[in-house]
Amino acid sequence: MRFAIKVLAIISLLTCGGTQGVTQASNDGPLQIEINEGIIQLFPIAAPQFIAESASASKWAKDITDLILSNLDRTGLFEIVPENSHIGKITNFDSPIQFSDWKAINVDVLLTGSVSLSSDGNLVVKFRLHDVFAQSSLGQGVQYRGQVNNWRRLAHKISDEVYSRITGEGKYFDTRIAFISEFGPKTDRAKRLTIMDYDGANVRYLTDGDDLVLAPRFSPDGDELIYTSYQTGKPSVYRLNLRNGQSNRVLQTPDMTFSPRFSPDGKRVIFSRTTKGNTDIFETNLTTKESRRVTRNRAIDTAPSYSPDGTKITFESDRSGSPQIYTMSLNDGKISRISFRNGNYGTPVWSPRGDFIAFTKQLGSIFHVGVMLADGTEERLLSRSFLDEGPTWAPNGRVLLFFREEPGESGGPSLYSVDVTGRNLKKLKTPNFASDPSWSPLR
């Protein structure tokens, strides 16, 4: 837990506004974490290629080790100490570690593992995490078993354990991203519902592109998507079961319905509904099919999102004259505006941890994705460009995805990830233009 507490301290410090030149001396060990000019000291980790217990397992041992290192590297928190600088060699998963070999090359944490193929053809992967300075194990060793074609998920599971044990943060690698793939000219885009692993692997198109589709959102169990489709000619909210591919319209009405999200218990859906040109927020109970009005206002009320405990919502409204962010208690109906700085605000979405609300902000000709506390204080902008929009949270509430659209006739959207601290902005690889990301819960 020594490591966990320290890296958590890094994140907390950055959370408080990028304090410059802070040095946090460590009293209980040789580990020192420094924050200089907003750059944190990366955490040195070594992971020699996992031991292949048989010749047939060697390909998997390499691929799994590489993917774990790639995952850790993408967090922007680790320094991967390359194998060619290792002094010690791991030849047997069960042999004692020569900690001095790793201390000599300034490694703080060592990850070792082994891969074998069981008699029924499944992959069996074991790993251990070692604290080099304490010369002890960092948590218990774990063994995973899975089908060969699920090797990426095995690597993501181990990455999650490693990341979580060292940082003290929740897991997020073994997840998926639902989004919209975009094809064709800007004036006549075809859009397809798409799903892929968090790291861009295993892309699958879920609709054929005949109907305009928008903004998929995962159910809390990850087995369903809720989204908007123009299948009937007008935007309507649909539910898609990812296990059997069945899609159903949530509410039968001639009104436009759009921007849906599931409640945290998965039993309700909140969305926008337009009646005679006026858009308000409604909620449908998926069990009883009963629908109720949540807001009643002549202004536009849209983009609702629940708090993690399901007792409040946050939404976007122009009731003040420009689009701003509000929260509302579902118990007593009390509404409070929380965005007060210059600019237009939209697409508020509550962090799964409940601490922050992420949003889109338009200030002059620039769009930002940012976060603020649920009372509107401590606003922090994480990105800026011609058009940044639509943040979604990783299940650990520490990383966000959004889409960035390049301007002009040939411009289009791409997915980006960024830490809640504003560090580590990265573009995700997708086969086509991509927008409207939604991060799944942990699988």
Partner 1 sequence: MRLLRVMSVIVCVLLVAGCGENTVTRGNTVSNAGGSGSSDDRFTGMDDGVIETDSEFAYFSKEYFNYEIGDRVFFALNESALSEDAKDILTEQADWLLRNPDSTVIIEGHADERGTREYNLALGARRSEAVRTFLLQQGVGAVRMSTVSFGKERPFAACSDETCWSKNRRVVTQIEETTGS
Could you say which of 150, 291, 362, 414 contacts partner 1 (CB under 8 A)?
A: 362
Could you say which of 40, 110, 303, 369 contacts partner 1 (CB under 8 A)?
A: 303
Query: How many beta carbons lie within 10 A of that of residue 391, not counting itself?
Result: 26
Q: What is the DSSP letter of 379?
A: -
Q: Based on CB atoms, which residue is closest to partner 1, 72 or 303? A: 303
Could you say which of 108, 174, 389, 419 contacts partner 1 (CB under 8 A)?
A: 389
Phi, psi of 359 (to 5 degrees): -155, 170
Q: Give the number of residues in contact with partner 1, rule: CB under 8 A.
A: 42
Which of these, 258, 256, 255, lies nearest to 228 by C-alpha position?
258
Q: Based on CB atoms, which residue is closest to partner 1, 131 or 405? A: 405
Q: Based on CB atoms, which residue is closest to partner 1, 347 or 392? A: 347
Smallest separation (angstroms) from partner 1 to the CB of 9: 35
Smallest separation (angstroms) from partner 1 to the CB of 414: 15
Smallest separation (angstroms) from partner 1 to the CB of 422: 21
Given CA atoms 369, 439, 441, 287 in this order, what sign does their dihedral have? positive
Helices (H), 84-171: 99-103, 151-167
Sheet of strand 224-229: strand arrangement: 213-218, 224-229, 236-241, 247-249
Structural contact between residues 269 and 263, judged by C-beta atoms closer than 8 angstroms: yes
The secondary structure of 270-305 as a DSSP string is: EEEEEETTEEEEEEEETTT--EEE----SS-EEEEE
Q: Counting contacts by CB under 8 A, is residue 186 touching partner 1?
A: yes
Could you say which of 115, 300, 358, 415 contacts partner 1 (CB under 8 A)?
A: 300
Distance of CA 201 to the CA centre of its chain: 15
Q: Based on CB atoms, which residue is closest to partner 1, 174 or 182? A: 182
The residue to which tokens 């946090």 are assigned:
24
Angstrom distance (rounded) from CA 232 to CA 254: 10
Could you say which of 258, 326, 433, 439 contacts partner 1 (CB under 8 A)?
A: 258
Query: How many beta carbons lie within 10 A of that of residue 123, not counting itself?
Result: 21
Q: Based on CB atoms, which residue is closest to partner 1, 197 or 436? A: 436
Q: Counting contacts by CB under 8 A, is residue 274 touching partner 1?
A: yes
3-state secondary structure of 267: coil
- What string marks each residue from 141 to 170 as x (binds partner 1 by CB under 8 A) or -? ------------------------------
Q: Based on CB atoms, which residue is closest to partner 1, 234 or 443? A: 234
Q: Counting contacts by CB under 8 A, is residue 342 touching partner 1?
A: no
Q: Counting contacts by CB under 8 A, is residue 314 touching partner 1?
A: no
CA atoms within 13 A on the CB side of 312: 19
Residues 204-233 that bind partner 1 (CB under 8 A): 212, 214-215, 233
Q: Which residues bind partner 1 (CB under 8 A)?
A: 185-189, 212, 214-215, 233-235, 256, 258-259, 272, 274, 276-279, 300, 302-303, 316, 318, 322-323, 344, 346-347, 360, 362, 386-387, 389-390, 405, 407-409, 411, 436
